[in-house]
Structure 1
Amino acid sequence: MGESLAEILDGAAAGRFPAPDGRTTVVEAPSGRDWGVIAFTAHSVVFTDEDPAWVRATLASPDCDALAATMHPRFLNALLERTGRTTDTIDLLTVASALPGDPPLELREITDPVHPRVVSARRRRDGVRMWAADGGVLVLGRGVAGRWEVAVELEEGARHRGLGRALATAARHLVPEGEPLWSQQAAGNARSIRAFQAAGFRPVGSEALLLVP
């Protein structure tokens, strides 16, 4: 493909996906922090500074459908052991476009640099900012390959009232015009998936990030 990860992501955000040819593209990691695997429909992208020949040989070893190899536990475990990294989960990767105007929700920006949610987000994102609404928070920053990423968190008593959807929608008003906004939801977190899709986020693939310990 000859593209960087940022170019592949920009294309996917615009609906231009890698060809569904059953192949795996190995690209250079965009930074020392951002390593991982993204599986689109019938095409995967591994972003790492490891030897591409090793990646391809290891992908051939799991006894599974070739289309599932990049997310197979044996491949991911081999990649983690070789790199000395860890991972949390395989996420659903979603994206939405920016929206004009102010957020349709009253938000208060939190500027405390040692807030636990801010500290946690800074391990994975740059330029982190955080806003609060009654019962929840949204965190915005530049993540993998410089993409805009959002995460939301609700208090238990604020659930089932549409606040997650409202926060996810508000985040679309906080990114620059023309920029896609990305978010990851754990595949088993159906409540979060429903909230983000109701806010206009579209699923584009699955993602496993390799985290620096």
Structure 2
Amino acid sequence: MPRRPHPLQHTISAIAAGRYPEVDGGWTRVPRWRQGVDAVLAVTGRAYLALPSPPDGPSDADLDALGCNGFGGAHDPRVALAIAGTDGRCGVLDMLMAATASGAEQRLVRRDDLASHPRVRSAADVRDEVTSWGYHDKASGDVASIGRGVAGLTEIGIEAEHPGGGSRLAADVLATLPAGELVLAAVSPGNARSVLSLLRAGFRPIGSVQLITHPAGADAP
């Protein structure tokens, strides 16, 4: 049976096309897109929190009391800690970027030998259906992961062997995926080299995202 699209897929697709939600400073609770992974997604003047309802997650009133809002408050560290509870792990705050796949040419190939690469293993911890990709030449240290990440949308991760190679690798991932497909990437804002590489490959900033992970079977704060 096909998986139902996550409610944020339409929102993210619209934002990627330049159509932002109303800038009212509000926030909305939405379902998780992956078991054990909560998320805070912020865009211009609006925020979305993917987490379970009480008692498995903090109440709206508790989050409001901590200053959660769409004007930056959703990323207040106190909000992340409230979502994490006693067992959760707060991930880093990332810039969320989006691009459209070109489907131009299959430059990358499936590389199952790269499945144990730290970049791929890290992706598999928070995304579904993660696959590892690289170039035909196994002497190359470039690696990419493709999976279902934020809101169940296609999300990639890359690691280029040489400085300056990220743009080519990111563009080659976009060329590998079906033309017109929306593709996401999350990158630390402080990693300027990676941000510039993604920009050169056609990605553009659409918001910010922070993941909070819980051990299996221990979702409640």
Q: TM-score, normalised by structure 2?
A: 0.81
Task: Give the equivalent residue in structure 1 for 2:112.
Answer: 111
Q: Which amino acid aligns with 2:46?
A: H
2:176 aligns to what SS in structure 1?
Answer: coil
Count of aligned pairs between the two proteins: 204
Task: Give the equivalent residue in structure 2 for 1:90.
Answer: 93
Q: Which amino acid aligns with 1:177?
A: A
Once the two structures are TM-superposed, the CA of residue 55 in structure 1 deviates from its matched residue by: 4.0
Percent identity between the two aligned chains: 32
How far apart, CA to CA, are the structure 2 residues paired with 1:63 and 1:181? 31
Residues 22-46 of structure 1 deviation map (CA, whole Å, 9 limit, x = unaligned)? 1111112233144211010010011
Contact 2:25 2:45 in 1 (8 A): yes
Task: Give the equivalent residue in structure 2 for 1:145.
Answer: 151
How far apart, CA to CA, are the structure 2 residues paired with 1:140 and 1:66? 29
Of 10, 14, 24 in structure 2, the residue corresponding to residue 11 of structure 1 is 14
How far apart, CA to CA, are the structure 2 residues paired with 1:91 and 1:174? 24
Of 184, 192, 196 in structure 1, the residue corresponding to residue 194 of structure 2 is 192
Aligned pairs for 1:66-105 (under 5 A) are: 67-81=71-85, 84-103=87-106
Once the two structures are TM-superposed, the CA of residue 120 in structure 1 deviates from its matched residue by: 3.2
Q: Which amino acid aligns with 1:107?
A: L
Q: How has the CA–CA distance of structure 1 residues 167 and 55 changed in structure 2, closer, same or farther, with 3 Å as cutoff?
A: farther
Task: Give the equivalent residue in structure 2 for 1:127.
Answer: 129
How far apart, CA to CA, are the structure 2 residues paired with 1:184 and 1:15? 18
Q: Which amino acid aligns with 2:149?
A: G
Contact 1:80 1:210 in 2 (8 A): yes
Of 37, 50, 60 in structure 2, the residue corresponding to residue 47 of structure 1 is 50
Once the two structures are TM-superposed, the CA of residue 169 in structure 1 deviates from its matched residue by: 0.8
1:29 aligns to what SS in structure 2?
Answer: coil
Task: Give the equivalent residue in structure 2 for 1:182.
Answer: 184
Gaps in structure 1 of 5+ consecutive residues:
none
Task: Give the equivalent residue in structure 1 for 2:38.
Answer: 35
Gaps in structure 2 of 5+ consecutive residues:
1-5, 216-221
Q: Which amino acid aligns with 1:179?
A: E
Contact 2:104 2:179 in 1 (8 A): no
Task: Give the equivalent residue in structure 1 for 2:23.
Answer: 20
How far apart, CA to CA, are the structure 1 residues paired with 2:176 and 2:41? 26
Once the two structures are TM-superposed, the CA of residue 109 in structure 1 deviates from its matched residue by: 2.9
